[in-house]
């Protein structure tokens, strides 16, 4: 036993020849004092939030536009042929580490690509709280401005954007969103298009309790929704709007 009585014969070691892998047996690569000191030295003074790469990394840009003397939020209605087609949202997309130098840069890139706006008209004011979704995404949201309310300054990409929607912030400040709940069900298997059962979580094989062998209750997920000009602003987009409103309280 080493410091604090921690057993040194662990299954994982930074010094193991199978670096960052698991050993064949507990005695193959014991964790030694040097490993433990390295671990201690790397404990962050101000820990962030991490999920070991299990979450897909997305970014959005929350654009304010000054129009006729009042600030508005600019949304886009997604083109029918893409994922979440027909829904209202903010510009955004996936953070690509090989392309983007930062999440902020990714948010700006996506905004330029989707809205066809000149990069010089975009200004980032800061980042709001990140959101972790129940469907496995980390969303980093950046608040900023588009320096014009002239519709001609935007040339939305028709493959991604059906149209844009400018909504006064005063609308959201004066309207409470409707509140709903979605019941979640955890499915350890599914039936594909050919009718074949695909087991994605072998609970029975793992020896887990029987109630995990079939679908089990995943609880309820709260959903907010605003209605505006015949459109519904809901889900994650509505939550981002609410995060902005909390800053105004």
**If we measure between CA atoms, which residue out of 112, 105, 71, 120 comes closest to residue 91?**
112
Residue 209 has pLDDT above 90, yes or no: yes
Cα separation, 97 vs 92, in Å, equals: 15
Give the pLDDT confidence score for residue 48 in this predicted structure. Answer: 65
Residues in a beta bridge with 60: 92, 141
Cα separation, 234 vs 226, in Å, equals: 6
Q: Which of 9-23, 48-62, 202-216 has the lowest mean pLDDT?
A: 9-23
Residue 25 has pLDDT above 80, yes or no: no
Give the pLDDT confidence score for residue 85 in this predicted structure. Answer: 81
Q: What is the pLDDT of residues 70-101, one digit of tens each?
A: 999 999 999 988 877 889 999 999 999 899 99
CB-based contact 229:114 (threshold 8 Å) = no
How deeply is 222 buried, as exposed, middle or buried, from its count of CB atoms within 10 A (0-12, 13-18, 19+)?
Answer: exposed
Mean pLDDT score, 141-163: 93
Q: How far is CA 86 from the centre of its chain?
A: 20
pLDDT-based confidence at residue 21 (cuts at 50, 70, 90): low
Question: What pTM was computed for the model?
Answer: 0.78
Give the pLDDT confidence score for residue 24 in this predicted structure. Answer: 55
CB-based contact 170:245 (threshold 8 Å) = no
Give the pLDDT confidence score for residue 238 in this predicted structure. Answer: 96
**E-only strand ranges, the chain:** 56-67, 70-78, 88-89, 92-94, 122-127, 131-132, 137-146, 161-168, 178-186, 189-191, 197-199, 216-228, 231-234
How deeply is 41 buried, as exposed, middle or buried, from its count of CB atoms within 10 A (0-12, 13-18, 19+)?
Answer: exposed
Residues in a beta bridge with 226: 233
Q: Give whichever of 11-20, 37-46, 103-112 has the largest mean pLDDT.
A: 103-112
Cα separation, 141 vs 144, in Å, equals: 10
Mean pLDDT score, 206-230: 93
Give the pLDDT confidence score for residue 13 in this predicted structure. Answer: 43
Bigger pLDDT: 106 vs 30? 106
Give the pLDDT confidence score for residue 49 in this predicted structure. Answer: 65
Q: Which of 32-46, 84-98, 170-184 has the lowest mean pLDDT?
A: 32-46
Give the pLDDT confidence score for residue 17 in this predicted structure. Answer: 44
**Chain-wide mean pLDDT for the chain?**
86
DSSP β-ladder status, 56-67 and 137-146: parallel
* SS3 call for 96: coil
């Amino acid at each position: 036993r080493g410091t604090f009585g921690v057993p040194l014969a662990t299954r994982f070691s930074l010094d193991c020849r199978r670096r960052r892998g698991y050993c064949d047996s507990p005695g193959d690569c014991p964790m030694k004092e040097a490993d433990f000191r390295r671990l201690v030295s790397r404990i962050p003074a101000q820990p962030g939030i991490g999920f070991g790469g299990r979450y897909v990394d997305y970014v959005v840009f929350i654009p304010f536009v000054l129009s006729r003397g009042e600030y508005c939020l600019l949304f886009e209605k997604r083109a029918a042929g893409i994922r979440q087609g027909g829904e209202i949202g903010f510009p955004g997309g996936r953070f690509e580490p090989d392309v983007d130098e930062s999440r902020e840069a990714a948010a700006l890139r996506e905004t330029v690509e989707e809205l066809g706006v000149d990069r010089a008209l975009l200004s980032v004011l800061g980042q709001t709280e990140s959101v972790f979704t129940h469907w496995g995404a980390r969303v980093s949201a950046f608040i900023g401005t588009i320096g014009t309310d002239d519709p001609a300054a935007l040339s939305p990409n028709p493959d991604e954007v059906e149209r844009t929607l400018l909504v006064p912030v005063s609308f959201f400040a004066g309207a409470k969103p409707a509140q709903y709940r979605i019941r979640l069900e955890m499915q350890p298997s599914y039936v594909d298009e050919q009718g074949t059962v695909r087991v994605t979580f072998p609970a029975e094989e793992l020896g887990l309790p029987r109630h995990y062998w079939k679908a089990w209750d995943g609880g309820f997920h709260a959903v907010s929704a605003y209605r505006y000009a015949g459109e519904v602003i809901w889900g994650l987009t509505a939550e981002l709007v609410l995060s902005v409103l909390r800053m105004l309280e």
